[in-house]
Structure 1
Amino acid sequence: MSFLPQEIIRTKRDGGELDPAGIAAFIQGLTDGSVSEGQVAAFAMAVFFRGMSRKEAVALTLSMRDSGEVLSWPELDRPVVDKHSTGGVGDNVSLMLAPIAAACGLAVPMISGRGLGHTGGTLDKMESIPGYTAMPDNALFRKVVGSSGCAIIGQTGNLAPADKRFYGIRDVTATVESVPLITASILSKKLAAGLGALVLDVKCGNGAFMDNPDRANELARSLVEVAVGAGMPTTALVTDMNQPLASAAGNAVEVMNAADFLTGKARDSRLLEVTLALAAEMLVSGGLAATVEEAKKHALAALENGSAAERFNRMVAELGGPKDFLADPDRHLEKAPVVSACLAGEQGYVADYDTRAIGLSVVALGGGRIRPGDPVDHAVGLTQLLPVGTRVEKDTPIAMIHARNADQVAVAEKELRKAIRFADTAGEVAPVILGRHG
């Protein structure tokens, strides 16, 4: 019998289980355009309400992986491992994690995304570096991974192209939040990258896609179980996103924060804890350390002895950026013409953040995008954001605003004040690592 998309939709709508061949045929039709946008939307809505079994989610993920090119790395003599974050504010972990892992002996072909909504994108951050080629051809990508041990680049149209069309339709049909569909979207691209293992950072909190622990843990479990079911060893950490992770939020300002982190000039404590924890998971997954404790020591040593910084600098140079980037990042990164302190205006302690609002204040400055394809101002953003629990006086700066003009400063200041709550006493600060799966 010939393939009928409406029968797949009907089966799922009525709560039935789809067979792998039917799922594969539907995704093939999604990829080649023979399944209509309306049919894709109906399928997404049926999955949204009916869910998917693990077997179905694995089949969906593999079909989306196989919709385009699937990389392999036979030329590498080191384990190939990557990390994926579900996105947050001030989350520049990838910029330090990839070179730390590379310095410890892993190969990290990190295919990253752009920012959308309140979350920042790793690719936008890397493009703050003048000359950096974020979308290299396959030959250059492979060369840089081979020589530097890591390359942070953007997704090419050849990797999991089904996901691009599927996500675009989900985005306009209110079906983005479906756990099986999120799982297949994330993992199809990572499986297509030819990884030997994957580590996931599932963000949880008011600045995260998953805003409560139950939903974050549900997604983490789904990602780990489906990835393992698809043949890729995977672990996940659930981490706190109820405050910005770094003390900077933006593009060039987060790159500067990463440069300071790699060179040892300054390291935000929560950012350091998450970065080392994820690096340890990667090293254990790649078979380069027996325990998480041993792996953390290796990762910290790579930071302290400068080998991680050297890997980052080499990667930047090989992808077209300045050869001396880490020697003087301030000289290379674009700066906003206006930098203004936002003062607390009251006494007390930083009690909590509306972290999503912090991210949206960066978008309002021009440092993010509401729609795919929007231009991004790499220079604007926030720095010196105070951690929760910090004591402030009325004249204590709660952040430095980097903007194009005074009008932007005024808007950002207003949004910042609304996004930070003060209290008379220092409350309990939530741990940054909330759980582990896998």
Structure 2
Amino acid sequence: MSNAATRTTGQERLWSVDDHLEDILTTVRPLEPIELQLLDAQGCVLLEDVTVPVSLPPFDNSSMDGYAVRVADVAGASEEFPAVLTVVGDVAAGQADQPYVGPGQAARIMTGAPLPPGAEAVVPVEWTDGGLGEGPVSRMRAHSTSPEGSSGQVHVHRPAEARAHVRAKGSDVKAGDRALEAGTVLGPPQIGLLAAIGRGTVRVRPRPRVVVLSTGSELVQPDEELGTGQIYDSNSFALCAAARDAGAIAYRVGAVADDAETLRSTVEDQLVRADLLVTTGGVSVGAYDVVKEALSSVGDEDEEGGGIDFRTLAMQPGKPQGFGSIGPEHTPLLALPGNPVSSYVSFELFVRPAIRALMGLPDVHRPTIRAKLSADKALTSPKGRRQFLRGTYADGTVTPVGGSGSHLVAALAHADALIVVPEQDTSVEPGTEVEVVVLG
């Protein structure tokens, strides 16, 4: 944690967005490494370079169903003057013993099967007399092996160059090559590559477990009937989805009523499955802001850096924020505002980078670009605050969506970018180049 003085003076200073984020990122440490089975490692960050122990493919093999032949035997072959070869056997994928292909001979071969000794190329079955009006399986069966081992003959109607339709050993990766670099996030293709080179487990940083908890006696779960003065709990769903999108394993806790003791016990119960706790609501100056009441006195305050610090940030939306640690393991906790837009913007700016830092990723931030502002009128912004407006980005232009109100959930649903208005600017004219945080 940052020093204890910071924890006790948060409300006495106006924090910048950058200072608050820096405090979070200097506090949050990557999770300890773990060895996982491949499928359990999906979405995790690789901790070591992986070297290829065996070439891929591990042997020359056919890319087609057809016949393995010698190049000289099919040179000059045509429809009028086909090459007539004796079929000496079959070669299937996974077959250990292959027939030798000598002069004037061919071997039936299936896709993925090893190129048999003596053969130099593969002619597709469609280039043979088996290709007249029959499907691929039937065409291959047209020259079925006799009980004596003789397979008859095949007429080849086209010549083939050396190595035609042959996948060379090591043409994908060679033994000793670096297959994956440390820091790679393991997705389906990477998992497939690890399996292909024979790795059953891999050393990674695990995906962070993030517990999302919303507060407010007015909150009702979707599908329940709304009473007077009640609203549906959308924040916990949005933030849980955002945490998963960032790479975390996210757990959503049902909304907690405005009771400090209930919230405190709920948070403590969740510590067993949390690498990061995120609350939304109850962090401003209202009489029922129970997050501050419940968590201000919780944590390992006797140890340096314990406890939660509630702060005022020079930003809009999202002015009230909380950050600190809780419980015996000093589990990081980020307390976000309750308004939906404030909550989501705060997640993107602070929680998402924290999740990526826990994963051990070198770049924890969303990409930022410069774009031309497209708007009917100038954008206004309060002096001294960094404003984040929702927008849509396309072809170098960003267009505001909805107003600046922190309750506008519908507008947020249509945005794929945040328009950043710096602290010193109170107005931004249409056509001005602005900074844009890309959310998509």
**Structure (1/2) with the larger helix percentage:** 1
Q: TM-score range by the shorter chain?
A: under 0.3
TM-score (norm 1): 0.22
Which structure has the greater CA radius of gyration? 2
